[in-house]
A = this chain, B = another copy of it.
Amino acid sequence: MLNFDFYNPTQIVFGKDRIADLSKLVPTDAKVLILVGGASAEKTGTLAEVRQALGARPHSTFSGIEPNPSFETAMQAVQQVRADGFDFLLAVGGGSVIDCAKFIAAAVLFEGDAWDILLKGGRNIKKALPFGTVLTLPATGSEMNNGSVITRRDIGAKLPFRSPHLFPKFSVLDPTKTYTLPPQQLANGVVDAFVHTVEQYLTYPVNSPVQDRFAEGLLQTLIEIGPRLLTDTEADIEPNYDDRANLMWTATLALNGLIGAGVPQDWATHMIGHELTALHNIDHARTLAIVLPAMLHERRVQKQGKLLQYGERVWGIRSGSEDERITAAIEKTRDFFERMGIATRLGAYGLGQEAIDVVVRQLEAHGMTRLSEHGDVTPQVSRRVLEAAL
């Protein structure tokens, strides 16, 4: 096992009817800016619940945070916070709204050009406004970590940052809030959590049986509940609470630092995926589904030991040569994404060979030239991966 630090002070408030707990969770003297995406938080009644729980605390709502939240939108919110003196942020939504809240929380108190936060990956953040979250879309894990990704549309850049100052004070996870999600967003959530887990698990062995088994447990759970979540939304019945609860908790645990503590991490698939989203506005989870199978094929030698373990423990693959078992494990992964209704080829998104040069150039421009757990995914390797994903 590798040396590690683990620190995660976010309070999780999980279950049915927990939004009312905001009355205790938010400081009584707070002046709260509620952050939301589109109109759904208002339409579903979630915002009304939130406002009721806030009681007499002064609050206002900033809406319009887009999927893959933009620097430009975040800076509008920063201006409003400064102008009106809000001292607590409450993100109500999914990973995009929460990621945006993190940037706003840091930018409001940042001295200098806030774009520098992204150029330095957050290492220059010295303080941040306190914030909490009400999660409505399980996927990114942002509700229980200190990382975020912000997009600048004018230059087609999607850049990650993190800081120990950016853990949510609390996150309310009410699985019933997912009942109104369309199947496509549930599928995105399943695939996003799946690939988060894989990025921390499918590297090389360092004798970390607990981290391995925790990761495998998350993957097995997603494989079990994923297809049920799709049929669930088709039927004219109350969604299955436990499946929603298990998706929500799984997605949170997939990226709260736990399964990545003491093990190597990859993240090459994510970095390439971010460029695809920035350039072509493809859903984050879908970019991961495109890149991951091709990446695993490309790096089957470096990842051999873990790929065999993954095939056996997660997919029950026990027969065939090592090479055959690895191929089977990767293709099972691809099939799972496809069964979730998520295409795994660039062509399915209307992209061909001509798109690849631009992605590779952007990776170079953003310094993403030595990716993966070994630092051996160069732009040339990324190009081969994208070509294999055509």
| A residues apposed to B, CB below 8 Å | 1-16, 18, 207-210, 212-214, 216-218, 220-221, 224-225, 242, 245-246, 249-250, 253, 258, 261-262
Nearest-CB distance from A220 to chain B (Å)?
7
Q: Report 11 cross-chain contacts, Cβ distance below 8 Å, ordered by A residue.
A: A3-B15, A5-B11, A5-B14, A7-B12, A14-B261, A210-B217, A210-B221, A210-B246, A214-B214, A214-B217, A216-B217
Nearest-CB distance from A40 to chain B (Å)?
24
Quick check: B242 and A1 within 8 Å, CB to CB?
A: yes
Quick check: B210 and A213 within 8 Å, CB to CB?
A: no
Which chain B residues border A224 with CB–CB below 8 Å? 209
Residue on B nearest A209 in the bound complex, by CB:
B221
Which chain B residues border A220 with CB–CB below 8 Å? 209, 213
Residue on B nearest A224 in the bound complex, by CB:
B209
Q: How far is the CA of A261 from the CA of B250 in the complex (A)?
A: 13
Q: How far is the CA of A1 from the CA of B242 in the complex (A)?
A: 6
Which chain B residues border A4 with CB–CB below 8 Å? 12, 14-15
Nearest-CB distance from A253 to chain B (Å)?
7
Nearest-CB distance from A195 to chain B (Å)?
17
Nearest-CB distance from A283 to chain B (Å)?
24
Contact A217-B209, Cβ < 8 Å, known A4-B15, A7-B11, A13-B5: yes
Which chain B residues border A15 with CB–CB below 8 Å? 1-4, 262
Nearest-CB distance from A245 to chain B (Å)?
4
Q: How far is the CA of A231 from the CA of B2 in the complex (A)?
A: 24
Quick check: B207 and A242 within 8 Å, CB to CB?
A: yes
Quick check: B210 and A250 within 8 Å, CB to CB?
A: yes
Which chain B residues border A13 with CB–CB below 8 Å? 5
Q: How far is the CA of A214 from the CA of B212 in the complex (A)?
A: 10
